[in-house]
Amino acid sequence: MKSDHLSPFPYSNTNKRYHTLTYYYEQTYGGKVAKLALDAGFSCPHIFNHHQGGCTFCSIRGSGDFTFSNIELDKQMKAQEALMQRKWPDAKTIAYFQAYSNTYAPLETLKQIYDPFFDDTYDHVEVAIGTRSDCLDDEIIAYFNEKSKLKPITIELGVQSIHPNTSRLINRQHSLENVEEVLEKLKHTNIKVVLHMINGLPKETHEMMIQSIQWVAKQPIHGVKIHMLHVLEGTVMGIAYKHKPWPLLSLDEYVSLVVDQLEYLPPTMVIHRLTGDALESDLLAPIWTIKKVNVLNHIDMEFARRKSMQGLKYEKQEH
């Protein structure tokens, strides 16, 4: 339901003071859009082949915790569509390749997987692909750029933090320089780019997390996903946390940080997420992240309390 008290923020038709994905979809596709989370059977370059264990925070499902893995993509699509139709019968859909790194394969393999999603086989409005910058070479970028002429494509890149010490600590196994090189190449295509950032990573200060978002603000991208760190059962980080817990951000600290961060982002940048999903059975901490609506409500209230909005500090920097 739309609020009667409209926000002063220009990219909103409700009381939101930041550029929500819901607003973007309404303006672009004319209504509700739902993502169908898919697992195409990919891996990541530093999990199995290089025996480096993957990112320390990542679940054994490669962040695809809500996909229907181990069944054919066609059946996954139908199962996800059935779920979405129960909640939003009239929603348009996006094929979202979520689990692991979805460009980590030879180009011919990628063509076999993705080609059907750009013809009339499936009735979706867009294709979204989660991957890493070190899994996007020139040939793969050119392939997806060509496919984007048939259907819009969004590529989501995990960055998490710009700080080298943090990247080593969480075992990212690629550099910020590599991310920037790939962003420069994608800038010259029709592909939309969304970056993933994580707040609350071990040993990061408030200022470090602000610096990461200030870097995001300067990138040639469409949007950003900001998540609170989830410490999960069965992960390298989860095992360490159970052995010796360390302080995590509280709800109030997270809310204050997120509002600080959004003030630095350009108002045109779409905020794809401010909360993440974790299976409750796997989540060790922080437990407050389970109540996603509560988190978003607190962010709205903090914006209102400050009489602030996304881009406030960005605009001041620009002028």
**pLDDT tens figures, 173-188:** 789 999 999 999 999 9
Per-domain boundaries in the chain = 21-318
**pLDDT tens figures, 129-138:** 999 999 999 9
Alpha carbons 259 and 18: distance in angstroms, whole number: 9
Alpha carbon 123 to its chain centroid, in Å, reads 23
Terminal-residue alpha carbon distance, the chain: 36
State which amino acid sits at residue 27: Q
**Residue 58: φ, ψ to 5°:** -80, 140
Place of tokens 């602000």: 210
Lowest mean pLDDT across 68-72, 109-113, 163-167: 68-72
Per DSSP, the three-state class of 80 is helix
Q: Which pair of structure tokens corresponds to residue 143?
A: 């392939």
Alpha carbons 140 and 158: distance in angstroms, whole number: 17
Per DSSP, the three-state class of 95 is strand
> What CATH number should be reported for the domain whose range is 21-318?
3.20.20
Alpha carbons 113 and 28: distance in angstroms, whole number: 26
Q: Alpha-carbon torsion 170, 172, 175, 178, what sign? A: negative
**pLDDT of 60:** 63
**pLDDT of 50:** 43
**pLDDT tens figures, 229-251:** 999 998 889 999 999 999 999 99
What is the 8-class DSSP label of residue 161?
Answer: -
- pLDDT band of residue 56 (cuts 50, 70, 90) is confident
Q: Which pair of structure tokens corresponds to residue 113?
A: 């997987």
**pLDDT of 281:** 86
**pLDDT of 44:** 84
**pLDDT of 62:** 44
Pairing of strands 231-232, 283-285: antiparallel
**pLDDT of 74:** 87
- pLDDT band of residue 52 (cuts 50, 70, 90) is low
**pLDDT of 151:** 96
**pLDDT of 120:** 79
pLDDT higher than 50, residue 68: yes
Alpha carbons 234 and 236: distance in angstroms, whole number: 7
pLDDT higher than 60, residue 189: yes
